[in-house]
Amino acid sequence: MKLKIMSFNIRMATKHDGINFFPNRTDCIRKMIDRESPDIIGFQEVCDTIRPWLRNNITDEYIVIGCGRDEHYRNEANSIAFKKNSFELIAFETKQLSLEPDVPGSRYHGVGQSANPRIYCHAVLSHDAIAQPIHVYNTHLDYQSELAKILGMAQILGSVSSCKGKFVLTGDMNATPDERAMKMSLELTTKTVVDATASIPSTFHGYGNDNTTGKIDYIFTDAAVLNAHAVIDPPVDGIYVSDHYPVCAEIDF
């Protein structure tokens, strides 16, 4: 059974983006998702104004789940979307990346983490054509502290290592493939993990202004990877879908 997985940092809604302010990007985002038609999407930077837009504009085909990361379940979310005619939701959880994972808004202290709390979401999905459930993880690691990224990835991998069945992990990891937090994923001993997006050289472009960051968006899995690509859409009148390229992988479960 082949499924198309997408990781997409949709870029939060901020007027500082000028012509690429989120309301100006909605039409090209919707067209891109329709054209790519992924079975599962892991979104990052889904702020309070973007979540209702997703629910109202892509839910003809998808179910969108996930709440914000702060103490009131607001602010940015790592939403997961899946095709509602293909999957049933068995379970869902949101965990803080912290030593208190069930305390909303908590974060690592004393490691130089940015002021933003970080989370991961975990959805367990059932598909009629696949014998075992699929575990879908989605995250957005800290951008400031290498140790916070390592701790966050270790926490996610702890859950991945114990899940029964195949998994995918999508996310903006704020880390390039040579960083320790990314190498950890491929060293997991309980599962044979691969970077499905290993062939993609770069994912952050800053609305066409920065191609030097390299790849920071990923799809990891323990299933067979058939192919992968970055969705490189040319801007329309200077408007991009995001400041990141969405990445897709076709995976055989």
Contact 220, 199 (CB under 8 A): no
Angle, helix 22-36 to helix 50-57, in steps of 10 degrees: 40
| Phi–psi pair at 148, nearest 5 degrees | -65, -35
pLDDT digits (tens, 9 = 90+) for 154-197: 999 999 999 999 999 999 999 999 999 999 999 999 999 999 99
pLDDT digits (tens, 9 = 90+) for 74-122: 999 999 999 999 999 999 999 999 999 999 999 999 999 999 999 999 9
One-letter amino acid identity for 71? E
DSSP-based three-state secondary structure for 182: helix
- Domain housing 50: 2-252
Residue whose tokens read 């067209």: 31
Q: What CATH number corresponds to the domain at position 190?
A: 3.60.10.10
Determine whether 198 is exposed, middle or buried from the number of CB atoms within 10 Å of its CB (0-12, 13-18, 19+): middle
Question: Structural domain tally of the chain?
Answer: 1
Pairing of strands 119-127, 224-230: unpaired
One-letter amino acid identity for 7? S
Name the pTM for this structure: 0.97
CA Rg value for the chain: 17
